[in-house]
A and B are shown apart, each in its own frame.
Chain A
Amino acid sequence: MSNWLIYRTFWDLTVSGLVLGLIYALVALGYTMVYGVLRLINFAHSEVFMVGTFGVLVSLTKVFGIPIFEGGQYPFRTGFVLIGILLASLLIGMAVSGLGAVAIERIAYRPLRGAGDAYGAVALAFVTGLILSFIISSDIGTNLIIAAVVAGPLSILYLRIFKRGRQAPRLAFLISAIGVSMALAEAVAIWGPDERVVYQTPRILEKKVLFKFLGADVRIDYVIVAIGAVLMMTSLLLFVNRTRLGRGIRAVAQDAETSRILGVNVDLVILVTFLLGGAMAGGAAMMFTLVYDQTRFNIGFLLGVKSFTAAVLGGIGNIRGALLGGVVLGLAENYGSAVFGGQWKDVIAFVVLLVVLMFRPTGILGESLAKARV
């Protein structure tokens, strides 16, 4: 590849790298916040993002009834209708992902923290019953009935185990995360109408070039992603720094035991942390579908690992670090793929992860954990 070509496309790569980086950054926030309060890598967070993209897809096609193509054309909308649909799908994506993250916390993590409650026990028992029922039947109606029947006695057993109040070993959280992650992705792959195929999302926004930036095309969807991402991150920072619950999150991240002694409801703080992190991933999911017009059952995997890399790169546990790490990684991927060729794009994130872990495990804004400011 000639130098001339690299030069010519440099600003194009910068613009699209920034957009991609902002999406990584939004997803990275979930990893970093959960790590901050629980010292736990929520590997199921990638599926929180995936669920969000499907939330957006369903809201567009089912709630607003928008087809993929209208008379051979993209179903473009304009004006207030467009703004309304974009905002609504953003909120739905955030809600689906936020609640998904909370559900994962309840079902997959809270019982392991030795703080299981009745809801968690019933939900976990139901899921266990459902999974077991596939051994005997593949009719979803029968499965649900079996799950409901099994859930009764099983939830009593689970509750009894939870009540012992002992924290499970670290590895148990990791296994639980991978399990719930695979279960979610496979559930979408099996029960989704198109199974493992790529789903197109309705392209309601006509992606016109708004202006030129140093010769690079800046499209309207890029601008929307940039504004949306910055607004979401600013609100998050304001919440964490200015509200009472936000102070609770920072306190738990620094010293959970003392926070409890001072009256912080740690379970509530953890729930809010998952909710916020999930909502950010849901926002990212909406922006992702806006730019790329597609999703798939395993869309979360690669994006999740890359966002995790972004979180580590910026300094895990650090909100500003997630933003920085996301943007740096998005740019590095784009420049790298121009230099080494597009087929190397995905390799770059992993090389970055390796290099960071070897030479600066605390990340760019690396602060020691004790001082980590969420």
Chain B
Amino acid sequence: MLLEVNDLHVFYGRIEALKGISFNVNDGEIVTLIGANGAGKTTTMRTVSGVRSVAQGSIIFDGQDITKMPPHERVKLGICQAPEGRGIFPGMTVRENLEMGTYVRGGNAVEKASDLEHVFTLFPRLQERITQLGGTLSGGEQQMLAIGRALMSRPRLLLLDEPSMGLAPMLIAQIFQIIKQINSNGISVLLVEQNATQALRTAQRGYVLETGHVVKEGSGQLLLDDPAVRAAYLGG
């Protein structure tokens, strides 16, 4: 098992956003977390990345307890995220943004070049815009940049928080295709989505979050067929 989250409780001040959730991601899997607005999906992702602190429970990555580990150590271990809202550095060029993905590894120019090459084969658009400032990219391009940047860190577990948010249907299909492609290279993916149908089709397994609890879990197909899930998240 690559990632194992046990009974996680996380607070914002006095508000308990996660009330004891447990889930796991196996090596090589795509796992999705779905749920309504405010269910706690982003909070979960931030906590796995280490930027929110844990009140109770544990996070195990590849057999190692990382519950209290600072975020930069986690990136070194192979956990990297394309955050919700993309988090592009507006005053940096596309290239500088991508190179931020290699921050923890430091500068081996040869490695960097081959990583860039790999990202450009997935997202040729980024290569065309290499000198453009991140803040001036379109929403779709920013999303590609956020995913590409996370890939630059050579993650073992890629965290994607709503990669399809605000994109045109064509582009959404493309993004999900690319997620599969990334996964086929051996990178495990934890995917948060509002677009539940697509997410459940792409993922092997899924978890349904509701106000800080996991209320259902199972294979992607099982959740797609579940009447309660259909009614709540898949539009009937």
Is A235 an interface position by the 8 A CB rule?
no
- Within the assembled complex, what's the spacing in Å between the Cα atoms of A166 and B13? 8
A262-B135 CB under 8 A given contacts A244-B107, A250-B91: no
Interface contacts (Cβ under 8 Å), in number, total: 76
Q: Is the CB of B103 within 8 A of A258?
A: no
- In the complex, how many angstroms separate the beta carbon of B161 from the nearest chain A beta carbon? 10
Is A5 an interface position by the 8 A CB rule?
no
CB within 8 A of B135: which of A166, A244, A250, A371?
Answer: A371
CB within 8 A of B80: which of A165, A251, A262?
Answer: A262
- Within the assembled complex, what's the spacing in Å between the Cα atoms of A372 and B91? 7
The A-contacting residues of B in range 1-49, CB under 8 angstroms, are 13, 46, 49
- In the complex, how many angstroms separate the beta carbon of B52 from the nearest chain A beta carbon? 10
Is A362 an interface position by the 8 A CB rule?
no
Q: Is the CB of A262 within 8 A of B99?
A: no
CB within 8 A of A264: which of B50, B72, B107?
Answer: B72
Q: Is the CB of A263 within 8 A of B87?
A: no
A263-B92 CB under 8 A given contacts A247-B100, A257-B87, A371-B135: no
Chain B residues, Cβ within 8 Å of A373:
91
Chain A residues, Cβ within 8 Å of B90:
254, 370-371
Q: Is the CB of B51 within 8 A of A257?
A: yes
Chain A residues, Cβ within 8 Å of B99:
247
- In the complex, how many angstroms separate the beta carbon of B3 from the nearest chain A beta carbon? 16
A254 and chain B: residue at smallest CB distance: B89
Chain A residues, Cβ within 8 Å of B92:
250-251, 254
CB within 8 A of A260: which of B72, B106, B149?
Answer: B72
The B-contacting residues of A in range 154-169, CB under 8 angstroms, are 165-166
A262-B96 CB under 8 A given contacts A244-B106, A244-B107, A251-B89: no
Is A255 an interface position by the 8 A CB rule?
yes
Is A248 an interface position by the 8 A CB rule?
yes
Q: Is the CB of A263 within 8 A of B89?
A: no
Is B132 an interface position by the 8 A CB rule?
no
A261-B51 CB under 8 A given contacts A244-B103, A250-B91: yes
Is A200 an interface position by the 8 A CB rule?
no
- Within the assembled complex, what's the spacing in Å between the Cα atoms of A370 and B71? 23
B103 and chain A: residue at smallest CB distance: A263
Chain A residues, Cβ within 8 Å of B49:
260-261
Is B173 an interface position by the 8 A CB rule?
no
Chain A residues, Cβ within 8 Å of B76:
263
- In the complex, how many angstroms separate the beta carbon of B140 from the nearest chain A beta carbon? 19
Is A9 an interface position by the 8 A CB rule?
no
Chain A residues, Cβ within 8 Å of B50:
260
Q: Is the CB of B72 within 8 A of A263?
A: yes
Is B83 an interface position by the 8 A CB rule?
yes
Is B81 an interface position by the 8 A CB rule?
yes
- Dominant SS among interface residues on chain A: helix
A263-B107 CB under 8 A given contacts A250-B92, A257-B51: no
- Dominant SS among interface residues on chain B: mixed
Chain B residues, Cβ within 8 Å of A259:
100
- Within the assembled complex, what's the spacing in Å between the Cα atoms of A166 and B99? 32
B70 and chain A: residue at smallest CB distance: A265
Is B104 an interface position by the 8 A CB rule?
yes
Q: Is the CB of B103 within 8 A of A248?
A: yes
The interface centre, meaning the residue of A254, A261, A372 with most chain B CB atoms within 10 A of its CB, is A261
Q: Is the CB of A264 within 8 A of B53?
A: no
- Within the assembled complex, what's the spacing in Å between the Cα atoms of A343 and B22? 71
A263-B135 CB under 8 A given contacts A165-B53, A371-B91: no
Q: Is the CB of A262 within 8 A of B75?
A: yes
B96 and chain A: residue at smallest CB distance: A247
- Within the assembled complex, what's the spacing in Å between the Cα atoms of A286 and B228? 73
- Within the assembled complex, what's the spacing in Å between the Cα atoms of A263 and B99? 12
Chain A residues, Cβ within 8 Å of B74:
263
Q: Is the CB of A262 within 8 A of B107?
A: no
Chain A residues, Cβ within 8 Å of B72:
260, 263-265
- Within the assembled complex, what's the spacing in Å between the Cα atoms of A264 and B106? 11
The A-contacting residues of B in range 94-153, CB under 8 angstroms, are 96, 99-101, 103-104, 106-107, 133, 135, 149-150, 153
- In the complex, how many angstroms separate the beta carbon of A372 from the nearest chain B beta carbon? 7
Q: Is the CB of B71 within 8 A of A261?
A: yes
Q: Is the CB of B87 within 8 A of A261?
A: yes
Chain A residues, Cβ within 8 Å of B83:
257-258, 261
Chain A residues, Cβ within 8 Å of B133:
371
- Within the assembled complex, what's the spacing in Å between the Cα atoms of A261 and B86? 11
- In the complex, how many angstroms separate the beta carbon of B214 from the nearest chain A beta carbon? 23
- Within the assembled complex, what's the spacing in Å between the Cα atoms of A373 and B93? 12
- A sample of 22 cross-chain residue pairs with beta-carbon separation below 8 angstroms, ordered by A number, consists of A166-B13, A248-B103, A251-B89, A251-B92, A255-B87, A257-B83, A257-B87, A258-B83, A260-B71, A261-B71, A261-B75, A261-B81, A262-B153, A263-B72, A263-B75, A263-B103, A263-B104, A264-B100, A265-B70, A265-B72, A371-B91, A371-B133
Spell out A's residues near B (CB within 8 Å). Answer: 165-166, 244, 247-248, 250-251, 254-255, 257-265, 370-373
Q: Which 9 A-B pairs have the closest CB atoms?
A: A263-B75, A258-B87, A263-B104, A263-B72, A254-B89, A260-B71, A265-B72, A373-B91, A371-B91
> Apart from A250-B91, A250-B92, A251-B103, what are 5 other A-B pairs with CB-CB below 8 Å?
A247-B96, A247-B100, A262-B101, A265-B70, A265-B72
